[in-house]
Structure 1
Amino acid sequence: MNTPLATASGNPSATASGAVPATPGGAPSGQSATALPVLPRPSADEFAAVLEHGAYMALTQFGVIDATGDDAASFLHGQLTNDTQHLDAANARLAGYCSAKGRLLASFLTWRSGDTIRLLVSKDVQAAVQKRLSMFVLRAKAKLVDASGELAVIGLAGDVRKALSGVFDALPDGVHVKVDGAAGSLIRVPDAFERLRYLWIGPKAQIEAHLPQLREKLKQVSPAVWDWLDIRAGEPRITQPVVEQFVPQMVNFDVLGAVNFRKGCYPGQEVVARSQYRGTIKRRTSLANVAGELDTVQAGAELFHSDDPGQPCGMVVNAASARDGGVDLLVETKLAALESGSVHLGAAEGPALRFLALPYGLPTEV
């Protein structure tokens, strides 16, 4: 699959203004948005390449927003759920961007590249989120630009350290640790199936120059494999179908370090803090598998419990084709729905979910 490298280009047709409330599971009302394409099921060889050897993939499902200017860090600090004011050059951080009601509009991986703070975001929400953030810059010395056209985003998974050592002088030794080199930034992200994973983001020309060398050692596979690995790592991603559906704790962002409860105010902060300290988190995200394919099993689909078929008990957060068949899911549900009975996709008589163990523990809710 040695196809030309694609950039994580922004979505020019997703022109929704963040100032317009989003309709449940859809585009902001009165606006249009282009969904991410449904990626074909990867071949068995592509799954095997990651688990048995090492592979890389061009992650066209992401875009990159660059925040520049003297006030970029402080501006983002007042908008996102995590601390960007003290973000150093050696680390990356997960963060969310919430509405005033504490519901997630987007999720980011954030890091510094020189004086720039970069935000990796799902491509289908990038334009709306960038526009909304820009509305609040006001007098701050900060500017948000779409850097997707100049940058490429590569995911690497499996036995990839030898291949990467030919590009970077040093490799990150811990999750969300970052190193920089002439070819861009390399960030280690959470393992999946106990396999190492890295994100490599850099100038398109620089990355393309290294591709022949990379292909000698690693197989290029579909970006759909990365979506699957993210799900198996238990790391939710906010895409357009689930905009404004979840408070951060509902998608385990507090457990994943995407929320700093000691930082100052940001949109929705009171709702997020109240949920944390009053013990009102009654919904969480779990890992599951269900029969089907991605043309019918998609983010935003509602879930129903066998004991209460009349109303939804949860929602699919992310979905990806699974190695062993069916679709692997991250699903947000009422905690009570996991105690007995069964959970089904689309309707109480729909396909039953088979729940799997997350690779991390969740706090005991009171």
Structure 2
Amino acid sequence: MRPSGRLLRAFKGWLDTRAVVRVAGADAAAFLQGAVTNDVRALREGGDAAYCATLTPKGKIFADAFVRLAGSESDEFLLDVDREKSSEFLRALRMLSLRKRVTIEDANEHRVVVASADADVGDSSARAVRRDERLEQLGFRGIVPASDAAWRDAVADAHARTRIALGVAEGASELANALPLECNFDALNGVSFTKGCYVGQENTARQRFRGVVRKRIAPFVAIEPGARAPSVGGKIVNERGDVVGDVIAAIEDEDAVLGLVRARMSFIRAHVAGEPGSAFRIADGARVGVEPPSWWPTEWLDAAEE
């Protein structure tokens, strides 16, 4: 199930599902370095942004974020975060920042998160809107002044459809309480294995060292006409009735029903290989096809275990 053109959508505008948080101060870079999964030091060396997550002490995702330098100042950062989680995110960062020389504040009044399917972002935004760090197919993304009239249209639905068709989860409703490698952060440039310590690092490092990730997020498409989108939290099962995984996102329109499932890799491997009994369906619903997207490393399926 490689995403065909009919499953993707053009988009350009404001991502109204995202919010902006500002982190600034003499300790801002060091503070973020110890709070998120990726290496924010690369931003000082010319990187556009660092896609990352903050984790719970047990290593599960609390929130995802894109960290960007605000202008040329190395002690001021802008974070693109899930709007529904932004208040909790602010509180969590402030708890971590005790005795640090940092200011952490809501920046939504003056800035918005934007995305575009192509590089036509205008001269005023060319430096602020850059290639999405996760996948080239996700286009361009950045943070711009809220007053910039070129980005007034909201495009969250079209962007989400393209993202889901590509097999990329985003936001608390899709990522929370999962492990970063289950959410494919290792292939989406969302985690550094060479930086220093950060909250929740031990479980992530242990999972990588063992070389086995038993569950991952993958895209699915209904393969029956008239299918209805399953509810988030619904189950996908195989022909034997084994639970393959949980639906974490689903979209339904006139063209298709598609979504994301956090599924056991052993079942995906059997499904791709066409083994007997390995066809998938929504529990009490339509048949669905699940195929690893083209950006998945081939060794992920090779390493799948029961």
**8 Å CA contact retained: 1:289, 1:356:** no
Question: Aligned partners of 1:86 and 1:211: how far apart in 2?
Answer: 28
**SS of structure 2 residue aligned to 1:167:** helix
Aligned pair 1:230/2:140, yes or no?
no
> Structure 1 stretches (4+) deviating beyond 6 angstroms?
46-49
**8 Å CA contact retained: 2:221, 2:259:** yes
Please give the residue correspondences for 1:194-233 in structure 2 after superposition, counting only pairs within 5 Å.
Answer: 197-205=139-147, 207-208=148-149, 210=150, 222-233=155-166
Counterpart of 2:31 (choices 53, 60, 75) is 75
Amino acid corresponding to residue 188 of structure 1 in structure 2: R
**SS of structure 2 residue aligned to 1:254:** coil
Structure 1 match to 2:129: 186
User: C-alpha displacement at 1:86, in angstroms?
Assistant: 3.6
**8 Å CA contact retained: 2:166, 2:219:** no
User: C-alpha displacement at 1:323, in angstroms?
Assistant: 7.0
- Residues 222 and 282 (structure 1 numbering): CA distance in 2 closer, same or farther, change over 3 Å? same
Structure 1 match to 2:261: 331
Question: Aligned partners of 2:79 and 2:30: how far apart in 1?
Answer: 15
- Residues 77 and 166 (structure 1 numbering): CA distance in 2 closer, same or farther, change over 3 Å? closer
Structure 2 match to 1:63: 19
User: What CA deviation, in whole Å up to 9, does each residue of 1:291-327 have, x standing for no partner?
Assistant: 324xx533x4343333244xx432233333467222x
- Residues 221 and 138 (structure 1 numbering): CA distance in 2 closer, same or farther, change over 3 Å? closer
Aligned pair 1:133/2:68, yes or no?
no
How many residues end up aligned between the 2 structures?
A: 279
Q: TM-score, normalised by structure 1?
A: 0.69
Could you list the runs of 5+ residues in structure 1 that have no partner in the other structure?
1-45, 172-178, 180-184, 213-219
**SS of structure 2 residue aligned to 1:249:** coil
User: What CA deviation, in whole Å up to 9, does each residue of 1:224-257 have, x standing for no partner?
Assistant: 001112223332213236521x111111101111
Counterpart of 1:277 (choices 188, 206, 209) is 209
**8 Å CA contact retained: 1:151, 1:201:** yes
- Residues 166 and 264 (structure 1 numbering): CA distance in 2 closer, same or farther, change over 3 Å? closer
Amino acid corresponding to residue 97 of structure 1 in structure 2: T
Question: Aligned partners of 1:74 and 1:120: how far apart in 2?
Answer: 19
Question: Aligned partners of 1:74 and 1:58: how far apart in 2?
Answer: 30
User: C-alpha displacement at 1:200, in angstroms?
Assistant: 3.9
Greater fraction of residues in helix: 2
Structure 2 match to 1:342: 279
- Residues 297 and 148 (structure 1 numbering): CA distance in 2 closer, same or farther, change over 3 Å? same
User: What CA deviation, in whole Å up to 9, does each residue of 1:316-344 have, x standing for no partner?
Assistant: 33333467222x22221101112141333
Counterpart of 1:119 (choices 76, 79, 91) is 79
- Residues 242 and 235 (structure 1 numbering): CA distance in 2 closer, same or farther, change over 3 Å? closer
Could you list the runs of 5+ residues in structure 2 that have no partner in the other structure?
1-5, 272-277
- Residues 302 and 129 (structure 1 numbering): CA distance in 2 closer, same or farther, change over 3 Å? farther
User: C-alpha displacement at 1:48, in angstroms?
Assistant: 8.7
Structure 1 match to 2:275: none
Question: Aligned partners of 1:285 and 1:211: how far apart in 2?
Answer: 31
**8 Å CA contact retained: 1:320, 1:329:** yes
**8 Å CA contact retained: 2:234, 2:247:** yes
**RMSD in angstroms over aligned alpha carbons?**
2.6
Structure 2 match to 1:142: 102
Aligned pair 1:96/2:96, yes or no?
no
Which deviates further from its counterpart, 83-92 or 260-269? 83-92
Question: Aligned partners of 2:196 and 2:151: how far apart in 1?
Answer: 43
Structure 2 match to 1:176: none
The percentage of aligned residue pairs carrying the same residue is 23
- Residues 322 and 106 (structure 1 numbering): CA distance in 2 closer, same or farther, change over 3 Å? farther
**SS of structure 2 residue aligned to 1:330:** strand
